[in-house]
């Protein structure tokens, strides 16, 4: 039995849990990153590989993370300790997750802060009546200003802290229930708008007609890395959220729904953005500025454009918030469960630390743009590379190996299949976890460090 030293908060409802976990999964990864890396990797073929990674690798690992957390009933490190004993080397996997979440929070807040600035721009009419070139230039002006970027980053971290202080039910669950449905509706609207635009056909072709010549080894790594990123895997997040679940939750159907929601939102975002890219003659491979440069263009030609743009950037900020709270919660839960810190203190201190550690990432777009400590990459890109390409896949790999090979099979089976009758579920899950997921991650990681391609 798990060590239950203190009464532990649990989600108030299944629905609340789904929205909170989907809220963690759905974030900048879907609306900001997915479209731009799809653009950089040439579209269709990349999307196909990404979908395969999501369902064959991501989904089984998400189930394993929920399982570990629910069984352990503690934070990411403590859950492994509850399963394998304190001091077990598996606790390192939990530690890796805590560290990854912390670094992630530090640079995620920088980009999330940009959406705050765009809310402000849209509200004050700064985006309306401008040409695409002018809108492009606005993005450059924002990220070029160290003061502005840091100001918004600070505000975003403060918002994250404010929610996490409220705890599981009163903070995270309550907010997710409001934010996620509105986000979904608005994306739907943008999608319809994209489909009605003259670039719709080109956008659809770009996303769904695979051209396998464009698939480089780096694209495979991006696709797999992004599958972990977008599902919040390998960062201790789903272990931590799973630890607030009770015993009879049906983990398969919960995970499937969360994964589907995440995928639909990413595809909707792509289908909203690419038609505009093509209609306005922009570059699909424009990089991190893509969403900030295209969405204002869509709205600038619409009635109530400023209002809609305001709503969009508010939602982008909220999607980012419902993800950043999950990163902060991983570290805070660790300090509460393992170190007995009060929630308030833990949240404030970790938030402040993440803000400070994020400053070099904020400066990477302006004053320190030329500072490239390693591999010719600036600080922001290095953090992103470290976390998205290495730490998350590696963390996910270890979870798969642990749950697939080391956890006592019978116990795990009983917990996974639970009261439902799905005889195919356990063998299929186990197979994916034991063979498919580790092979995929290993191939990609070895490739990345140049062992396979030399």
Contact residues for ligand PHE, defined by CB under 6 A: 24-25, 27-30, 101, 104, 229-230, 232, 235, 237, 323, 326-327
The 8 Å CB, 24+ separation contacts for 222-225 are 222/37, 222/40, 222/41, 222/46, 222/389, 223/41, 223/46, 223/49, 223/50, 223/53, 224/49, 224/53, 224/57, 224/393, 224/440, 224/441, 224/444, 225/388, 225/389, 225/392, 225/393, 225/444
Give me the least distance between CB of 67 and ligand PHE, in Å please: 18
Other beta carbons less than 10 A from residue 182's beta carbon: 13
CA distance 419 to 349: 42
Nearer to ligand PHE, 70 or 430 (CB): 70
Give me the least distance between CB of 211 and ligand PHE, in Å please: 26
Other beta carbons less than 10 A from residue 12's beta carbon: 14
Give me the least distance between CB of 54 and ligand PHE, in Å please: 12
Nearer to ligand PHE, 160 or 230 (CB): 230
Give me the least distance between CB of 68 and ligand PHE, in Å please: 15
CA distance 114 to 112: 5
Beta strands in 306-346 (DSSP E): none
CA distance 288 to 377: 15
Give me the least distance between CB of 424 and ligand PHE, in Å please: 29
Nearest to 237 by CA among 79, 81, 10: 79
Nearer to ligand PHE, 154 or 321 (CB): 321
Write down how long the chain is.
454
**Do residues 105 and 349 make contact, with C-beta atoms less than 8 angstroms apart?**
no
Handedness of CA 270, 312, 392, 19 (dihedral sign): negative
Nearer to ligand PHE, 127 or 227 (CB): 227
Nearer to ligand PHE, 101 or 293 (CB): 101
Nearer to ligand PHE, 272 or 279 (CB): 272
The first and second tokens of residue 118, run together, are: 């765009």
Give me the least distance between CB of 363 and ligand PHE, in Å please: 22
CA distance 83 to 53: 28
CA distance 277 to 287: 12
Nearer to ligand PHE, 306 or 389 (CB): 389
Nearer to ligand PHE, 138 or 266 (CB): 266
26-47 burial, b for 16+ CB within 10 Å, e for fewer?
Answer: bbbbbbbbbbbbbbbbbbbbbb
Query: If you write DSSP's letter for every residue of 109-143 in order, what string do you get?
Result: HHHHHHHHHHHHHHHTTTTTT--HHHHHHHHHHHH
CA distance 62 to 388: 16
CA distance 253 to 168: 22
- The whole-angstrom distance between residue 88's C-alpha and the CA centroid of its chain comes to 28
Q: Which residue has the tokens 């980053």?
A: 153
Residue nearest to ligand PHE (CB): 29
Give me the least distance between CB of 320 and ligand PHE, in Å please: 7
Give me the least distance between CB of 28 and ligand PHE, in Å please: 4
Give me the least distance between CB of 451 and ligand PHE, in Å please: 26
Give me the least distance between CB of 27 and ligand PHE, in Å please: 2
- List Cα–Cα distances, 401 to 99, 303, 438, 442, 448, in angstroms: 20, 53, 7, 11, 20
Give me the least distance between CB of 212 and ligand PHE, in Å please: 26
Q: Which residues pair with 377 in a beta bridge?
A: 374
Give me the least distance between CB of 29 and ligand PHE, in Å please: 2
Nearer to ligand PHE, 180 or 235 (CB): 235
Nearer to ligand PHE, 31 or 279 (CB): 31
Nearer to ligand PHE, 108 or 368 (CB): 108
Nearer to ligand PHE, 221 or 279 (CB): 221
């Amino acid at each position: 039995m798990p060590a239950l030293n203190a009464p532990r908060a649990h989600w108030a409802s299944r629905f609340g849990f789904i929205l909170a976990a989907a809220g963690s999964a759905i974030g900048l990864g879907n609306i900001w990153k997915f479209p731009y890396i799809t653009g950089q990797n040439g579209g269709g073929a990349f999307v196909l590989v990404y979908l395969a990674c999501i369902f064959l690798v991501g989904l089984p690992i998400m189930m394993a993370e929920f399982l570990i957390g629910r069984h352990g009933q503690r934070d990411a490190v403590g859950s492994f300790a509850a399963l394998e004993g304190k001091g077990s080397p598996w606790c390192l996997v939990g530690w890796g997750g805590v560290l990854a979440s912390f670094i992630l929070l530090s640079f995620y807040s920088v980009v999330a802060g940009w959406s705050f600035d765009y809310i402000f721009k849209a509200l004050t009419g700064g985006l309306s009546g401008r040409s695409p070139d002018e809108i492009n230039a606005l993005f450059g002006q924002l990220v070029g200003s160290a003061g502005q970027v840091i100001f918004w980053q600070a505000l975003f971290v403060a918002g994250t802290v404010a929610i996490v202080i409220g705890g599981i039910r009163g903070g995270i669950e309550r907010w997710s229930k409001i934010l996620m449905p509105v986000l979904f509706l608005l994306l739907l609207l943008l999608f319809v708008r994209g489909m009605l635009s003259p670039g719709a056909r080109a956008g659809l072709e770009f996303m769904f007609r695979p051209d396998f010549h464009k698939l480089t080894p780096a694209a495979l790594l991006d696709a797999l890395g992004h599958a972990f990123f977008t599902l919040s895997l390998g960062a201790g997040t789903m272990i931590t959220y799973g630890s607030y679940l009770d015993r009879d939750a049906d983990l398969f159907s919960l995970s499937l729904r969360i994964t589907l929601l995440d995928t639909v939102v990413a595809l909707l975002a792509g289908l909203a953005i690419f038609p505009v890219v093509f209609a306005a003659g922009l570059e699909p491979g424009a990089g991190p500025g893509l969403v900030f440069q295209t969405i204002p263009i869509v709205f600038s030609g619409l009635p109530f454009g400023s209002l809609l743009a305001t709503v969009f950037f508010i939602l982008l900020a909220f999607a980012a918030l419902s993800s950043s709270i999950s990163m902060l919660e991983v570290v805070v839960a660790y300090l509460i469960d393992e170190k007995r810190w009060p929630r308030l203190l833990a949240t404030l201190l970790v938030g402040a630390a993440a803000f400070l550690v994020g400053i070099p990432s904020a400066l990477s777009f302006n004053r320190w743009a030329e500072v490239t400590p390693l591999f010719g990459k600036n600080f922001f890109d290095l953090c992103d590379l470290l976390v998205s390409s290495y730490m998350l896949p590696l963390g996910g790999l270890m979870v798969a190996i642990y749950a697939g090979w080391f956890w006592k099979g019978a116990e795990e089976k009983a917990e996974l299949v639970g009261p439902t009758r799905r005889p195919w579920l356990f063998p299929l899950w186990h197979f994916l976890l034991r063979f498919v997921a580790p092979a995929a991650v290993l191939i990609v990681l070895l490739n990345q460090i140049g062992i396979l391609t030399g």
